Amino acid sequence: MVDLVHVPADPDHPDAWTVEGTVLVGDAVDVAIHGSTDFSLDVPTTRATLTEPHRTVHRLVAVPAGSPRVPGSVVGRAMVGLPLVGNAHLAVVYVGVHPDWRRRGIGSALWDAGIDLARAAGRRTVISDSSYRTEPPPGPDALESPTGSGRIPAHDDATRFALSRGFTLEQVVRHSVLDLPVTVDHLRSDPGSDYRVHLMKDEFATQWLDGLAVLRTRMSTDAPSAGLELTEDPWDAERVLADGADIHRRGHGFLVAVVEHVPTGTLAGFSEVRYPLDRPAVVYQGDTLVLREHRGHGLGMLAKIAVLDELATVRPDAERIHTWNAQENAHMLAINVALGFRQASVDAEWQRPL
């Protein structure tokens, strides 16, 4: 039997030890799958997610009944995300159990509690994901994505758990890594006088707030989402600023390259990376998007190279960049492969109605 404890946002709360506990479980899960803790959440990030400006987040931990209330006693954790702007019909639920404590009903207990929170919030669809060390070859041991691109291990515990809970596989996402430093001179091109790149570090220039809001809104509709029930997620200048503040609260920095369409003074595309300040070797590639009406000029590559150039200056000790792309997103994958990204693992995107 396990007890479930809600993770508090207040660092002075008597149950604040649960924040570190969920980090420890996340680290163990990531090491088992990926062999590293490059993108597991640390304490500042975990605490920051509990007070996000445009999403309500609940975190739960599982502790064996009768065990001391200390971080090392946590054996499982769950996150329930409830969007407050776009996609307010959704709940995003993640569950992870320490590898040493699996197959004891802990994941089921956390999952049931997460579903109760989603139902109480009036959500009608749940999205989740699972990660796998390798992508299997086609055959009886693989579950194919309905998009026709990508596979996951059919008999993995995570796959069995999701299917037993009524989830449908909707999409497979490729996780790729770029080892730094990297040479990209052979990929540079001149888009002509109609386009100009601007860089921002750790703060957004006021003149580009509205344009970034348009790009982020379009990211929610233009990026491949397969059969996931995702709707437009509207952004405005205030939300862009709030996102920047949230990045800093997590102990991260960021770089953004925006591509201006000079004749109109509007933004045609952007690319962003974020990086934990206390882990200088690690960088996460965020969103990259070129508006449909400006495609065909190499602007995606232009923006990504601009970020890489600046990254070499502001994060000289960076050793690798992690990125995630839908397997059916052939164009963006082609850009990443040309830059030198290699596939490292694969994720499944799951969905089920409530």
pLDDT tens for each residue of the chain, 354 residues long: 899 999 999 999 999 999 999 999 999 999 999 999 998 889 999 999 999 989 999 999 999 999 999 999 999 999 999 999 999 999 999 999 999 999 999 999 999 999 999 999 999 999 999 999 999 999 999 999 999 999 999 999 999 999 999 999 999 999 999 999 999 999 999 999 999 999 999 999 999 999 999 999 999 999 999 999 999 999 999 999 999 999 999 999 999 999 999 999 999 999 999 999 999 999 999 999 999 999 999 999 999 999 999 999 999 999 999 999 999 999 999 999 999 999 999 999 999 999
Residue 297 DSSP one-character state: S
Residue 325 resides in a domain: no
Domain range for 194: 181-318
163 and 185 within one domain: no
Q: For residue 77, what is the domain's CATH number?
A: 3.40.630.30
Q: How far apart are CA 106 and CA 95, in angstroms?
A: 10
165 and 192 within one domain: no
Q: How far apart are CA 84 and CA 242, in angstroms?
A: 14
236 and 221 within one domain: yes
135 and 219 within one domain: no
pLDDT of amino acid 53? 86
Residue 343 resides in a domain: no
Instruction: With CA atoms as reference, report the closest residue to 88 among 122, 37, 120, 47.
Output: 122
Cβ contact 63:77 at 8 Å: no
Residue 78 resides in a domain: yes
What separation in angstroms does the CA of 149 have from each of 129, 146, 285, 342?
Answer: 17, 8, 22, 17
Residue 52 DSSP one-character state: -
Residue 52 resides in a domain: yes
Chosen domain end from 116, 140, 174: 174
Backbone angles phi, psi at 124, to 5 degrees: -115, -5
What separation in angstroms does the CA of 44 have from each of 22, 26, 50, 74?
Answer: 12, 14, 10, 18
Residue 47 resides in a domain: yes
242 and 165 within one domain: no
Q: How far apart are CA 90 and CA 230, in angstroms?
A: 8
Residue 352 resides in a domain: no
Q: How far apart are CA 298 and CA 289, in angstroms?
A: 11
Residues paired with 342 in a beta bridge: 177
Instruction: With CA atoms as reference, report the closest residue to 285 among 262, 305, 259, 299.
Output: 305
197 and 100 within one domain: no
Q: How far apart are CA 218 and CA 199, in angstroms?
A: 20
196 and 151 within one domain: no
Q: How far is CA 230 from the centre of its chain?
A: 15
123 and 43 within one domain: yes
Is residue 164 within a helix (H) or strand (E), and if so which, with residue range? helix 157-164
pLDDT of amino acid 38? 95
313 and 240 within one domain: yes
Chosen domain end from 154, 174, 194: 174
- Tally of domains within the chain: 2
The angle, 0 to 180 degrees and rounded to 10, between the axes of the packed helices 237-249 and 209-222 is 80
Residue 99 resides in a domain: yes
